[in-house]
Chain A
Amino acid sequence: MSLRIERRLSIPGWLPVAVPVGSVILVLTGHDPVATDRRLLERGFFASGAISGTLVTATPLLLTALAAAAAFRMQVWNIGAEGQLYLGAVGASGAGIALHALPGPLIIAAMVVAGILAGAAWGAIPGILRAAFRTNEIITSLMLNYVAGLFITYLIYDSHSYWRDLSTFTARVFPQGKYLADAASWPRFDLLGMMIPFGFLLGILAAALVWLTATATRFGFEMRVIGDSPNAARYAGMRVRRRIVTVMAMAGGLAGLGGASEVGDFRHVLDPRGIQQAGFGYAGIVVAALARLNPFAVIVVAVLLGGLANAGYSLQGPDFPAGLVGTLQGLILFFALGGEMLVRYRIRWRGPQTAAPAPAPVAVAEAGS
Chain B
Amino acid sequence: MKSRVIGCLTVLAGLALSACGTGGSGSTSPSAGAPLKVAWIYVGSRSDAGWTKAHDDGRLMVEQHFGSRVQTTYKENVPEGPQVQQVIEQLVQDGNKLIFATSFGFQDAMDAEAKLHPDVFFEQATGFKTETNLAEYFGAAEDADYLTGMALGAATRNGKIGFVAPFPIPEVIREINAVTLGAQALHPGATVQVEWTNTWFDPAKEKQAAQSLIQRGVDAIGQGQDSPATGDAAKAAGVKWTGYDSNQQQFAPDVWLTGTVYNWGPYYTRRVQAVMDGTWKSGSYYGSMKDNFVDIAPFGTSVPQSARDAINQKKAALKSGSFYEFTGPIKDQSGAVHVTAGQKLTLNDILTMDWFVQGVIGNPKGS
Contacts and interface: CB of A to CB of B under 8 A. Distances in A.
B105 A273 contact: yes
Interface string B2-19: 011111101111111011
Interface in A143-201: 150, 153-154, 157-159, 169-170, 172-175
Given A304-B12, A313-B75, 9 more contacts: A11-B3, A38-B18, A38-B19, A47-B93, A267-B81, A314-B94, A322-B76, A332-B11, A336-B8
B82 interface: yes
A340 B3 contact: yes
A313 B81 contact: no
A304 B75 contact: no
A335 B11 contact: yes
Contacts of A154: 367
B15 A40 contact: yes
Contacts of B89: 49, 53
B18 A20 contact: yes
Contact of A157 (B15, B22, B351, B366): B366
Interface string A275-313: 101100000000000011010010011001000011001
Interface string A29-72: 00011110111111100010100010011000000000000000
B128 interface: yes
B4 A34 contact: no
Given A292-B1, A313-B87, A157 B167 contact: yes
B1 A174 contact: no
B105 A274 contact: yes
**Of A23, A35, A265, which is in contact with the most chain B CB atoms at under 10 Å from its CB?**
A35
Question: What class of interface size applies to chain A in its complex with B?
Answer: 35 or more
A15 B10 contact: yes
B241 to A, nearest CB: 26
Contacts of A150: 198
Contacts of B76: 316, 322
A137 interface: no
A56 B366 contact: no
A340 B19 contact: no
Contact of B90 (A34, A172, A301, A313): A313
A274 B79 contact: yes
A347 interface: no
Given A53-B89, A278-B83, A158 B366 contact: yes
Interface stretch (B168-176, B231-239, B289-297): B168-176
Given A158-B168, A274-B81, A291-B4, A173 B128 contact: yes
B10 A153 contact: no
A317 interface: yes
A352 B83 CA distance: 53
Interface of A: 11, 15-16, 19-20, 23, 32-35, 37-43, 47, 49, 53, 56-57, 150, 153-154, 157-159, 169-170, 172-175, 265-267, 271, 273-275, 277-278, 291-292, 294, 297, 300-301, 304, 309-310, 313-314, 316-318, 322, 332, 335-336, 339-340, 343-344
A56 B82 contact: yes
A157 B168 contact: yes
A138 B104 CA distance: 35
A32 B80 contact: no
A274 B25 CA distance: 36
Among all A-B residue pairs, the 9 with the closest Cβ atoms:
A19-B14, A274-B81, A158-B366, A266-B82, A53-B86, A277-B79, A274-B80, A38-B19, A172-B352
Contact of A322 (B1, B73, B77, B367): B77
A172 B74 contact: no
Given A34-B25, A37-B15, A157-B198, A170 B80 contact: no
B351 A173 contact: yes
Contact of A41 (B1, B4, B15, B83): B15
A310 B86 CA distance: 8
B196 to A, nearest CB: 8
A343 B6 contact: yes
Nearest to A54: B86
A92 B37 CA distance: 41
A173 B89 CA distance: 27
B358 to A, nearest CB: 22
Given A267-B81, A273-B105, A343 B7 contact: yes
Contacts of A40: 15, 19
Contacts of B198: 150, 153, 157
Contacts of B1: 292, 294, 297
Interface in B348-367: 351-352, 354, 365-367
B313 to A, nearest CB: 32
Contacts of B3: 11, 340, 343-344
A344 B83 CA distance: 36
18 contacts: A20-B14, A34-B19, A35-B25, A37-B18, A43-B90, A153-B198, A157-B168, A157-B198, A158-B365, A158-B367, A169-B352, A172-B354, A173-B351, A297-B1, A304-B8, A304-B12, A313-B87, A344-B3
B45 to A, nearest CB: 7
Contacts of A47: 93
A153 B205 CA distance: 15
A265 to B, nearest CB: 8
Nearest to A40: B15
Nearest to A41: B19
A73 B87 CA distance: 36
A70 B20 CA distance: 38
A322 B11 contact: no
